[in-house]
Amino acid sequence: MLNLDRPETQFVIHIVRQASRLVKLVQAEMISPALTKDDRSPVTVADFASQALVGKALAENFPDDPLVGEEDSTDLRSPAGQLTLEQISHFVSKFTPDATPDKVCEWIDRGAEQPAARFWTLDPIDGTKGFLRGDQYAVALALLVDGLVQVGVLGCPNLTKGYQSEVGGAGTLAVAVRGEGAWVTSLESESDTLRQAFVSNTADPAQARLLR
């Protein structure tokens, strides 16, 4: 059974929910039919905003734990990055009102730390192509101790609990804890019950569903 009293489990479920809601908002507000194929600004904003939110929360809850992410704020601090930084700060401030451009850069740079015996690793948006076309993507965060994943969470905003694609729905949160199994629940509803997840017994690839 999943132990929801463990601080790390509580933390990762809460912050992945928040980060998933944030990037879902970016997707809804910045992606439109007029978006050109080469315009990656929405995923850039969402990537940085997601990492900033997680970096801030980790500093507040587990200040001694390093975070290994994908981004740093070097380009955002340059004159050419100011507009993007303003957009990132705008979205982050919807979830943490004390966000300023300088603070957002500090929170992002928490993800530039080095792995240690105990550290967190973040993929702020796993599936950038899916994100840009308004389809499947995930926010992924895990805690590793001595090289072993102890807890990992995926926030999937456009996936139902029945593993169907549903843009704008409640989404799915998947949680795995070492020794406690894997579980899924609603991304949006914090009162929704957790149900255990199992590996599919489908052996024929023709009978399997491919999400991309």
Active site residues: 47, 128
Name the E strands within the chain: 67-68, 118-126, 138-145, 148-156, 172-177, 181-186, 195-196
CA angle 81, 84, 89 (to 5 degrees): 120
Q: Which residues contact 194 (CB under 8 A, 6 or more apart)?
A: 2, 175, 183, 184, 185
Question: What is the Cα Rg of the chain in Å?
Answer: 17
DSSP codes of every residue in 50-111: HHHHHHHHHHHH-TTS-EE-S--STTTTSGGGHHHHHHHHHHHHTT-TT--HHHHHHHHHTT
